[in-house]
Amino acid sequence: MASGELVVVKIGGSVITDKSRPFSLNEEVIRRLGSEIAEASHDKSIILVHGGGSYAHPVAKKYSVAEGFKSAEHLKGFIETSKAVRKLTLDVISKLTEGGLKAISLPAAALFITRSGKITSSNLEPIFSAIRMDVIPVTSGDVVFDRDLGFTVLSGDSIAAYLAMRLRAKRLIYVIDVDGVIIEDRVTGETKVAEEYSRGMKLKSLAVNAEDVTGGIVNKLEEGFSALEAGVEVLIVNGLVEGRVEKAVRGEPVIGTRLSKS
C-alpha cells in the first residue's frame, strides 16, 4: 500500500443524508468533507466507508432484508436496497470529488461474503490497488451475499472496524452528527460529551432511529471496541462541524470521544 499510516473513516448516514426525508443528500457537507479528507491525506492512506442513511435504511426496513432470503418479497427488497445503495454511493462520490477528493466506489457486495451476518471472506485487492494508485477507495454499508441467509444487511460500522483490524490501521474514525458519545455525569447528573468512553459507562440514551436497520450507536460502539482491542485508535467526531474530521484524520487534538480500554 501507499506509504504512511492507514486511517479508516466511516461517515454516518445521518451526516451525509437527512434521515427524516427519503433520498435526501447533504451535498454541502459531503463536499466539505471531501475537501477536509483530501487536505489531511497527503501523508496517509485512507479508506472511506459511508452509511446508508435515508437512501438504504427505509427500503431495507420495509422488506426486512436483514432476515435474508425467505420469500420473493425479500428478494425484491434485496434488489431494491442494492439499487438504493448504488445511487447513494454515486451521489456521495460525485460530491466528494467536487470537494477535491480523488475517490472511487468499491461496492461492499463485491468485496465481502458473510455467514449469519458476520464477514467470513473478503477480496481486498481492489482496495490495495486503489491505494497504490493514490485513489481513495470508498465503500459502504450494503446488502451482501450470506452463506447461511442467502443475503443480509452488512453495516458500514462493521465494515469499517473489519478493515481497520484486518489491515492494522493506525486509526478508525466514526463520523456522526453529534459531538461524541453522550453520557450522564455520575456525580452531577449533567449530560455531557465523554472525552473518553470505556465499556460499562452509561450512555445517556440508547435510542435508535426507527429506520436504522444496523443498530445505531450501540453497534458502532461494539465494533469500535473490537477494533480498540486489536490495537486501533478509535475516535468518534461530529462531521457537521467544520474542521473536525480533518483534525481527526491528521491525528491532531479534536473535540469528540476517544474509546478507552479502561
pLDDT of residue 209: 43
What confidence tier does 23 reach under pLDDT thresholds 50, 70, 90?
confident
pLDDT of residue 3: 52
pLDDT of residue 151: 95
Euclidean distance between the first and the last CA atom of the chain, given in angstroms as a whole number:
33
**Residue of higher predicted confidence among 171 and 63:** 171
pLDDT of residue 58: 80
Burial (CB count within 10 angstroms: exposed 0-12, middle 13-18, buried 19+), residue 164:
buried
Helix/strand/coil (H, E, C) string of the chain? CCCCCEEEEEECHHHHECCCCCCCECHHHHHHHHHHHHHHCCCCEEEEEECCHHHHHHHHHHCCHHHCCCCHHHHHHHHHHHHHHHHHHHHHHHHHHHCCCCEEECCHHHCEEEECCEEEEECCHHHHHHHHCCCEEEEECEEEEECCCEEEEECHHHHHHHHHHHCCCCEEEEEECCCCCEEECCCCCCEEECCEEECCCCECCCCCCCCCCCCHHHHHHHHHHHHHHCCCEEEEEECCCCCHHHHHHHCCCCCCEEEECC
Is it the case that residue 34 has pLDDT exceeding 80? yes
* Tens-place pLDDT, residues 81-92: 999 999 999 999
pLDDT of residue 214: 44
Separation between Cα atoms, residue 234 and residue 217, nearest integer Å = 14
Is it the case that residue 207 has pLDDT exceeding 60? no
How large is the average pLDDT for residues 108-118? 96
Nearest to 161 by CA among 152, 173, 151: 173
How large is the average pLDDT for residues 176-189? 85
Cell numbers representing residue 175 in the block: 463520523
Is it the case that residue 205 has pLDDT exceeding 60? no
Fold category of 6-260 in CATH? Carbamate kinase (3.40.1160)
Where exactly are the structural domains of the chain?
6-260
Is it the case that residue 59 has pLDDT exceeding 90? no
How large is the average pLDDT for residues 218-238? 95
Separation between Cα atoms, residue 258 and residue 152, nearest integer Å = 30
How large is the average pLDDT for residues 104-110? 96
Of the candidate ranges 2-16, 25-39, 146-160, 178-192, the one whose mean pLDDT is the lowest: 178-192
Mean pLDDT of the chain: 91
Q: Is the pTM of this model over 0.85?
A: yes
Distances (CA, A) of 165 to 6, 30, 80, 86, 205: 11, 26, 31, 26, 28
Is it the case that residue 95 has pLDDT exceeding 60? yes
